[in-house]
Amino acid sequence: MAAEARASLAFEVSHAMGGRPWAGMRRTESGERVVSVSIPIQHVRAVLGVVTLEASDVDAIIARERAALIP
């Protein structure tokens, strides 16, 4: 599980290093779902780095939204 988590994060960062933003859901090393967005930091056309933002309480948010839909 840890190797898969690292590989998916590495793919996300390498995609953003190519100058393209990435947004998606993936699993952490502990198996928890996270929503992740990686945005390239650019100066003109040169990619200088990547900023990755994550929200890790996805399962709890989904459960609360589903409960709110029940009449």
pTM equals 0.73
C-alpha distances in Å from residue 11, one per residue of 6, 62, 63, 70: 9, 25, 28, 38
Rounded CA gap, 40 and 36, in Å?
13
Tens of pLDDT, residue by residue over 16-47, are 999 999 999 988 888 888 899 999 999 988 99
Assess contact for 17 and 11: CB atoms under 8 A.
Answer: no
Q: Give the amino acid at 54.
A: E
